[in-house]
Amino acid sequence: MTDLSPLDHAHAAMEAAPEDDAARLRFYERLADAELFMLLAGEAEGDQVAPQLFPVEDDTYVLVFDREDRLTRFAEGAAEYAGLSGRTVVQLLADQGLGLGVNLDVAPSATLLPPAAVAWLAETVAEDPEEVAATPEEILPPKGLPEAVLTALDTKLATSAGLARTAYLAGVRYEGGRMGHLLGFLGTVPGAEPALAAAAREALVFSGIEAGALDVGFLRDSDPVASALARHGLRFDLPEAESYTGPAAPGMDPDRPPRLK
C-alpha cells in the first residue's frame, strides 16, 4: 500500500518501536491534528450529532477515519458523518467516557484507544499555555534545542495554515538576565494567538521534552524585536489557508462545534 496518510506513517513508527515514548507521542499528536470523519448513527440535527456506538468488551467506542473514502469503505456505502478535528473528537468523547476506534478494518493505522487514553489526550490538548510579561534585552541564535523539538515545531506549524505568515525561533535574554527561547510570530491573524500559543506548547509536549519551556510572542513587522528575530532566528513559513467552497459536513465549521446527543 503506497497511499499512506500521515497517521498511517506515525502509527507504523509507533508499532516498530513499542518502547519509544517519542514515537508514541508523535502518533497521538498526528491524531489530535488530523481532520477526522466520525461515523454517525443518523443525520445530524442542528449542532447535535449522534455517533454510532460499538461495544467492545466493557467499553463503548466511536469510530473515526482520517479519510472520507475510508469511512465509506468501512460502511460499505454512503453513510452519515461529521467532520471534526482530532482534538475536538477526543474532547467530546472524554466527557462521555467513550473510547475511540481509528481507521478500523480499512487502513494500517487501525487502532483502538480506550477511554483512559482518550481522556489523557483530551486533557493534554486542552491545557492552556501560561501567560507572562517579559521584555527581551537581546536576541540570539537558537542554541541547545533538541532536534526533536525543531522537528515537532516544523510539523506543528505546518498544520496552522492561515493563522500567521511567519515564525522565528531564537534565543533570548530578558531583563534580569533570564535566558530562554522565543518563538515570535509575524502577520498573525487577529484572534489566532491562543491557537498558535497552544500549538507551540503541544510541540514541546509531544516531542517528549518533559521540562521544556518555550516563550511565544506576537509581533508587528515594525517592532525592533521582529528585525532582530529575522537576523538571528530560525525561520518557519506557515502555509496559507486553503479555500473550500463545497458543502460542509456537520462539524466542519470550527466556530460551531457539534454536541453529542
Cβ-contact 72, 47 below 8 angstroms: no
User: Over the stretch 60-92, which tens digit does the pLDDT of each residue have?
Assistant: 999 999 999 999 999 999 999 999 999 999 999
Evaluate if residue 8 carries a pLDDT over 90: yes
Domains of the chain, first to last:
6-126 (3.40.1350.90), 136-237 (3.30.70)
- The cell for 124 is 493534554
Question: What element of type H or E holds 154?
Answer: helix 147-158
Of the listed ranges 17-26, 46-55, 166-175, 235-244, the one predicted with least confidence: 235-244
CA–CA dist 3, 111 (Å, integer): 18
Evaluate if residue 201 carries a pLDDT over 50: yes
What mean pLDDT do residues 232-255 have?
Answer: 68
Rounded to the nearest 5 degrees, what angle is found at the Cα of 156, between the Cα atoms of 150 and 158?
Answer: 105
Over its C-alpha atoms, the chain yields an Rg (Å, rounded) of 20
Cβ-contact 61, 111 below 8 angstroms: no
> Has this prediction a pTM greater than 0.85?
no
Evaluate if residue 211 carries a pLDDT over 50: no
